[in-house]
Amino acid sequence: MRILVVGNGGREHTLLWKLNRDLPNAKLFATQPNGGMAELAEAVEISPMDLEALAGWAASRVMDLTVVGPEAPLAAGIADRFQAKGLPVFGPTAAAARIESSKSFAKELMRNAGVPTADFRVFRDHGAAEEHIRERGAPVVVKASGLAAGKGAIVCDTVEQACRAARQMLVDLRFGEAGREVVVEECMRGEELSVFALTDGRAFLTLLPSQDHKRLGEGDTGPNTGGMGSYAPVSLATPELMREVEERILLPTLRALEAEGSPFQGLLYAGLMLTEEGPKVVEFNCRFGDPETQAVLPLMANSLLEPLAAIAEGGSVSGHELRWHEGGAVTTVLASRGYPDSYEKGKPIFVPPDLVRDPNLLLFHAGTSRSAGTLVTSGGRVLAVTGLGTSLDEAARKSLAGAEAVEFEDKYFRTDIGWREFARDEWGRP
């Protein structure tokens, strides 16, 4: 089997790792692979955003399956291009990907479908946005409606912070075209939960829920990032809660997308807030989350490839089931100091050989490359260190030890991934 993975970050490295485990004799390819992916896949030196060239390459090389990792090519219509050439592709069409590429579209869809989410207003004019913010008061969340690499949502504790955020988006164009339209919404309180669903547009398979740590600093403080760590499982995600999520959020959202002519086939990611009123949607994504994928997929006990291929070929996931290993996984992201703002690249990375040999410690590369045979940093989030254990506590200790052992200049990471879980009585972490 010949499989192309589009993208070159930590999520894509994890997908390659899992697909390789599912079918070791598969021939794997990856677009412009990072320093870790290159060991698993043959490089395709075409940008993930060069849709026509990728579709032509995949057709000429007769790919049996293409798995699209990042949101940007999905929003640009890569699945549409591949489908037009009769190529099996895992990922939604551009119309369905609007669930992520346009927050205003997603919010209106949820409102019309009765899916619980934060109260909101959409603005293109800065003056109107500021007037609404001053009337509404704080705290409030200001979001760029378009794609902003996970950094376009600003939680504002004061009215002045919110007005400044709206100005940065609508006037200063801090997030470029993504911020020409903004969503101003109520600030929901509670714990966040990440839920992935593999779906053919109607039936779906819910993956093991996880929790992401989006803030840069310890204790979930500081600016939002693309994610500083994650863990799974989450004790709050009881069977009762997950039934509610499936019945009140996933199912009506899929029905609404189908009803408006944009059936969603791929991975639907629901970022949830567990409020006192029940789970509410913070945002939807049209692809696997990063770094949640690095914690969830290592716990999957059976094949990911089978449902991916079924969806890509236009089949159904009905009859498929997912099984999970006991224990837990904790992922700590190693970042370049200065992230999510400016940071230096090209720092040599040293990975102790015993880390690579440890079956319960996985290193997923994100911002790495090879320069003259040396592994160096090339991005803000450099590596994700996933520890596995019979308990979440053991997994956390493993992940932290690995994060400390990897060396590169100006390395930064959080030491408290999973802290909310460990604060619960049932875990009893000292």
Chain CA centroid to CA 417, Å: 16
Q: Give residues with Cβ within 8 angstroms of 366, minimum separation 6.
A: 9, 10, 13, 34, 290, 333, 379, 381, 382, 383, 384
* pLDDT averaged over every residue in the chain: 95
> What is the per-residue pLDDT for 64?
98
Residue 322 included in any domain: no
Residue 51 included in any domain: yes
**Closest of 279, 23, 273 to residue 153, by C-alpha:** 273
43 and 142 in a single domain? The answer is no
Domain end, chosen from 186, 207, 235, is at 186
157 and 182 in a single domain? The answer is yes
178 and 208 in a single domain? The answer is no
256 and 197 in a single domain? The answer is yes
> How many Cβ atoms are within 10 Å of 329's Cβ, its own excluded?
29
> What is the per-residue pLDDT for 228?
98
For residue 195, give the DSSP letter: E
**pLDDT per residue over 258-273, tens digit each?**
999 999 999 999 999 9
Q: Give residues with Cβ within 8 angstroms of 195, minimum separation 6.
A: 206, 207, 209, 237, 242, 245, 250, 269, 270, 272
Mean of pLDDT values over 334-354? 96
> What is the per-residue pLDDT for 195?
98
**pLDDT per residue over 393-428, tens digit each?**
999 999 999 999 999 999 999 999 999 999 985 544
Domain end, chosen from 251, 281, 312, is at 312
- pLDDT(302) > 60: yes
Beta strand ranges found along 247-372 (DSSP E):
266-275, 278-285, 328-336, 361-365, 368-371
User: At 378, which CATH number?
Assistant: 3.90.600.10
Query: What is the DSSP code string of 211-252?
Result: EE--EEETTTEEEE-S-SEEEE--TT--HHHHHHHIIIIIHH
Beta strand ranges found along 261-367 (DSSP E):
266-275, 278-285, 328-336, 361-365
Per-residue burial over 285-312, b = 16 or more CB atoms within 10 Å of its CB, e = otherwise: bbbbbbbbbbbbbbbbeebbbebbbbbb
pTM: 0.94
Look-up: residue for tokens 């790495």? 368
Residue 108 included in any domain: no
131 and 176 in a single domain? The answer is yes
Q: Which two tokens stand for residue 139?
A: 């705290």
Residue 16 included in any domain: yes
The residue segments making up the domain with residue 178 are 119-186
- pLDDT(429) > 50: no
Domain end, chosen from 130, 151, 186, is at 186
19 and 58 in a single domain? The answer is yes
Confidence of residue 27 (pLDDT cuts 50, 70, 90): very high
> What is the per-residue pLDDT for 426?
53
Torsion of CA 2, 310, 253, 67, to 10 degrees: 0
Number of domains the chain is built from: 4
3-state helix, strand, coil in the chain (%, to 5): 35, 30, 40
86 and 156 in a single domain? The answer is no
Angle ∠(103,108,111) on CA atoms, nearest 5:
125
User: E strand or H helix at 14, and its extent?
Assistant: helix 10-22
173 and 160 in a single domain? The answer is yes
Confidence of residue 314 (pLDDT cuts 50, 70, 90): very high
Residue 172 included in any domain: yes
- pLDDT(353) > 50: yes
Residue 240 included in any domain: yes
